[in-house]
Structure 1
Amino acid sequence: MKEARHGERRTRRCPEILVVIVGPTAVGKTDVSIEAAARLGGEIVSCDSMQVYRYMDIGTAKPGPSERARVPHHLIDVVDPDEAFNVARFQELAQAAIDDIAARGKIPFLVGGTGLYVRAVVDGFLFPWEGASPELRRKLEDEAAAQGVPALHARLAEVDPAAARRIHPNDARRIIRALEVYATTGRPISEMWRRAGEGKMRVDRLVMLGLVREREVLYERIERRCDAMVRQGLVEETRCLLERGYECALTARQALGYKEIVEHLRGRCSLEEAVEAIKRNTRRYAKRQLTWFRADPRIEWIDMGCPPSVSEAATCVLALVKGKLAAM
């Protein structure tokens, strides 16, 4: 897939439909999304803030080679663990991947548990730090104090008439922000406002599904997954990351699973204590994920304990997608 260069203007092609599957960690998103995408001939865009990092496979529960062979996956293994990566960069890459999938006549599936990343793609919001320059901002603030805010508004009208029409001549904060964006990105902020509006998915093009299980069942699955990760080599994977010089990246990002194993490898706790800490922290993370997703009224929930099986849940996804397509 050819990626748009950072900051490059790119005309988006709205996908016919976007399927979003969310839920807490260990609920079963990977299995259900792969089954549904395989049946629909779709492709999956991973929406996990940790799966973008290379060499972090076991601890992030990345889909394995056989799963990725069955359904193409995007935004896995994008950057090294010590490379800068944020939600704005994810939004850019995810939208490019979705556009590419749609352009090839496939159905894009956005799948994951990182709520902010989901919102960034689905709602296409503009990030306040895009085009930020604290030094330039202070300089503009000084100019506003010396020359008056209307003088800066007149300057804005020259470079971004559309923004000047929307911003009051005495609104110093917004005028300075608009000039800051233009000076640092070379693009008018009005264009960025327009892009943000275009990035928002139309409601009739969205199928948003959430997977849920009874709390005790989910917690049992979390514990089993943590134990399985240790058996599969989480300790050795973490040791290899440390040998590559990624300790600061692992601890700074508070990467679940890795930061606890780092404590063990540094002799600050036993393996048993580290594993218990992973389980405890993962349960807390799952609770926060559910709180985030339950606040979104667009999500239709599938109870994975009634039962249904992975196949039955995938059938529910297919029915909702086909119903949405038929209604368009």
Structure 2
Amino acid sequence: MEQTPLKPLIVLTGATAVGKSTLAVILAEKFCGEIVSADSRQVYTGMDIATAKPSPEDLRRVPHHLIDIVPPDSEFTLPDFQRLASSAIEDIQQRGNLPFLVGGTMLYINAMCEGWEVPHVAPDLEYRRKLEEEVAEHGAEALFLELQQLDPEACAHIIPNNARRIIRALEVYRSTGRKFSEVHGKRGASYRILKLGLTLEREALYQRADERIEEMFRRGLVEETRRLLETGYAPSSPAMTGLGYGQVGAYLRGEMSLDEAKNRMRFATHRYIRQQHTWFRRDPAIIWLDATESNYASQAEAAIENFLREWNFLSGSNVL
């Protein structure tokens, strides 16, 4: 008995600052699409500058989902993302539009594309507070080294300074006695997926990231961080440890100069870019587009058209 082909999903990824958001809007307008953010920081309200959220103009041009949905001190887990992203994608498909999953958080993208089944382990608040105190005193990378000894496979999907995810992996290990990488299964994709990636030569990408950091400070990153702290969000809040806010928070507390905060933000961003590229190399299904080529958007459009033609043939549909 023949099965109905899975509905299409376009994934657009790439390193931070490479230009994913701009390309996503162009493609979504071309194909009656809607964008589902796969960015672990854009979910937080009131945090607009360092998270590089889409501009108000882009938000008007194309519907976006999973942006500005939780406050900065909320726990937002991978299962939360999977549940909300799945719901958004299904809603987009039911309305006859094409969903675009867009972002550089490969943990989120892999979970959706591979159908990860993540365990629902209740938080161990006392143990979590103990680990958070260790992070405050010694930094997240000390815990990362501990996790590497216990579960190196899990570390392949976690950034060394992402304290929240490191703590969660250790918490699951403590609660279940099993590695985090072992307790989730993969049920397989729920969609027919085309993966596109936007890329730049590494040094050019570093330069673009540095220019974007300068623009963030010109747009008011210091003032935005001060407002968040004055609102009552602690420096250890999940979102406040992210790129930009952690460094500026240290500046506002008098722990470093503004120039040092900028330099540390640049260093951390470059390291994040290197880690993203390590993740990308593990996925041979990504079709890479060179952002220096003048026709990269046309190349992406052609790839999507071919993909949809094949899906139309298999399903008897006509979405082009």
Q: Which residue of 1 aligns with 2:300?
A: 317
Structure-2 residue corresponding to 1:301: 288
Partner of 2:228: 241
One-letter code of the match for 2:34? E
In structure 1, runs of 5+ residues without a counterpart are 1-12, 135-179, 182-191
Match of 1:72 among 63, 76, 87: 63
2:120 match: 130
Q: Verify: 1:257 aligned to 2:257, yes or no.
A: no
Please list every run of at least 4 consecutive aligned residues from structure 1 whose deviation after the TM superposition is greater than 6 angstroms.
none
Residues 251, 87 of structure 1: alpha-carbon distance in 2 compared, 3 angstrom cutoff: closer
Percent identity, aligned pairs only, is: 45
Aligned to 2:95: 104
TM-score with structure 2 length normalisation?
Answer: 0.74
- TM (normalized to structure 1)? 0.72
Question: 2: CA distance between counterparts of 1:208 and 1:22?
Answer: 8
**Residue 61 (structure 1) aligns with:** 52
CA distance in 1, matches of 2:31, 2:285: 22
Partners in 2 of 1:325 and 1:289 — Cα distance?
A: 28
1:206-241 deviations in Å (ceiling 9; x for gaps): 110111101111011000000000000000000000
Question: Do the aligned partners of 2:235 and 2:246 also contact (CA within 8 Å) in 1?
Answer: no
Which has the higher Rg, Structure 1 or Structure 2?
Answer: 1
The equivalent residue for 1:160 is: none
Measured in 2, the distance between the counterparts of 1:252 and 1:65 equals 22
**Contact preservation (8 Å) 1:82, 1:246:** yes
SS of 2:285's equivalent in the other structure is coil
1:1-328 equivalence runs, <5 A: 16-127=7-118, 129-130=119-120, 197=187, 200-202=189-191, 205-250=192-237, 254-305=241-292, 307-308=293-294, 312-328=295-311
In the alignment, the residues of structure 1 paired with residue 5 and residue 217 of structure 2 have an alpha-carbon distance, to the nearest angstrom, of 42
Distance 1:303 1:265 in 2: 39
**Aligned partners of 1:210 and 1:302 also within 8 Å:** yes
Deviation, structure 1 residue 253: 5.7
RMSD: 2.3
Is the contact between residue 15 and residue 99 of structure 1 (CA under 8 Å) also seen in structure 2?
no
SS at match of 1:247: coil
Closer/same/farther in 2, CA of residues 14 and 258 from structure 1, 3 Å limit: farther
Contact 2:41 2:239 in 1 (8 A): no
What is the letter of the counterpart of residue 227 of structure 2?
Answer: C
2:146 maps to none
Relative to structure 1, is the Cα distance of residues 112 and 14 closer, same or farther in structure 2, using a 3 angstrom cutoff? farther
The aligned amino acid for 1:321 is: I
Cα distance in 1, alignment partners of residues 86 and 11 from structure 2: 13
User: How far, CA to CA, are the matches of 1:268 and 1:88 in structure 2?
Assistant: 36
- CA deviation after TM superposition for structure 1 residue 325, in Å: 1.6
Task: Report Cα offsets for 1:239-260 as digits up to 9, x if no partner.
Answer: 0000111123447763000000
Q: Which letter maps to 2:36?
A: V
Judge conservation of contact 1:264–1:270 (CA < 8 Å) in 2: yes
Taking the aligned partners of 1:252 and 1:317, their CA distance within structure 2 comes to 32
The code of the aligned residue for 2:120 comes to: E
Residue 130 of structure 1 and its aligned partner are, at CA, apart by 1.8
**Which string of whole-angstrom CA distances, capped at 9 and with x for unpartnered residues, describes residues 152-177 of structure 1?**
xxxxxxxxxxxxxxxxxxxxxxxxxx
Q: In 1, distance between residues paired with 2:193 and 2:270?
A: 29
